[in-house]
Amino acid sequence: AQTVTQSQPEMSVQEAETVTLSCTYDTSESDYYLFWYKQPPSRQMILVIRQEAYKQQNATENRFSVNFQKAAKSFSLKISDSQLGDAAMYFCALRVQGAQKLVFGQGTRLTINP
């Protein structure tokens, strides 16, 4: 079975600052994919970034980057130059190769202070 844990229920950051959201996971599979999804007040689930476990290079998408530590089973999300529109619930998710379902963490609510 796979589990995903987000130990920070809430985080806040000043606008234009950098914030890091934590995520740890557990799986016995060697081939898997990790994702960060954003859920703003509209409740839409928006894919932010993905990381393939076999890739050593950390994924980057504009102001969003990850720190993937495979041995530690850690997958944190860094948001640089935080903007008011980044305020949302952020979910870390795991899918193992060959499986269908995403397993989500409990979420971290991010507040951006102007």
Partner 1 sequence: AAGVIQSPRHLIKEKRETATLKCYPIPRHDTVYWYQQGPGQDPQFLISFYEKMQSDKGSIPDRFSAQQFSDYHSELNMSSLELGDSALYFCASSFLPGTGSSEQYFGPGTRLTVT
Binding site for partner 1 (CB under 8 A): 33, 35, 37, 42-47, 50, 52, 91, 97-107
* Min dist. Cβ of residue 4 to partner 1 (A): 8
* Min dist. Cβ of residue 62 to partner 1 (A): 17
Which amino acid makes up residue 50?
R
Choose between 14 and 62: whose C-beta lies nearer to partner 1. 62
Cβ neighbourhood burial of 93 (10 Å; 0-12, 13-18, 19+): buried
Is the distance from CB of 64 to CB of 77 less than 8 angstroms? yes
* Min dist. Cβ of residue 64 to partner 1 (A): 15
Choose between 33 and 64: whose C-beta lies nearer to partner 1. 33
Q: What's the CA gap between 13 and 87, in Å, rounded?
A: 10
